[in-house]
Amino acid sequence: MKYDYYIAILTRGRTNKQATLKMLQPEIRSLVNVYCHPGERRELMKEWGDKVNSIQEYSEECTHVGEVREYIIHNANANNVIFMDDNLRLQTKNKGNNGVTKSGIYEMIPKHFNKEQLLNMQIEIFDWLFTSLETFAMAGLSFRPFNRDVKVDYKINTRIFAIWGINVDKYLSQEQRFMDWSTKEDFAVHISLIKQGYNTITNFHYSFDKTSGANTNGGCSSYRTLDNSNHAAEKLQEVFPDVVKIRSRVRKNWHGEFEGVESKDVIIRWNKI
Residues 32-48: pLDDT tens digits? 999 999 999 999 999 99
Whether the pTM exceeds 0.85: the reply is yes
What's the confidence (pLDDT) of residue 223? 66
> pLDDT: is 134 or 257 the higher one?
134
Using 50, 70 and 90 to split pLDDT, how confident is the model at 215?
Answer: very low
**Between β-strands 54-57 and 88-92, what pairing exists: parallel, antiparallel or unpaired?**
unpaired
Q: Assign residue 197 a region: left if phi > 0, alpha if psi is -120 to 50, beta otherwise? A: left
Fold of 6-225: Spore Coat Polysaccharide Biosynthesis Protein SpsA; Chain A (3.90.550)
What's the confidence (pLDDT) of residue 212? 61
Q: 94: closest CA among 73, 75, 114?
A: 114
What's the confidence (pLDDT) of residue 176? 98
What's the confidence (pLDDT) of residue 248? 80
Using 50, 70 and 90 to split pLDDT, how confident is the model at 108?
Answer: very high
| Residue 101 amino acid letter | T
> pLDDT: is 250 or 200 the higher one?
200
pLDDT over threshold 90, residue 100: no
What's the confidence (pLDDT) of residue 44? 98
Provide the mean pLDDT of the chain: 91
- What single-letter DSSP state applies at residue 214? B
What's the confidence (pLDDT) of residue 263? 75
pLDDT over threshold 60, residue 272: yes
Residues 6 or more apart in contact with residue 170 via CB below 8 angstroms: 137, 193, 196, 198
What's the confidence (pLDDT) of residue 1? 58
Using 50, 70 and 90 to split pLDDT, how confident is the model at 109?
Answer: very high
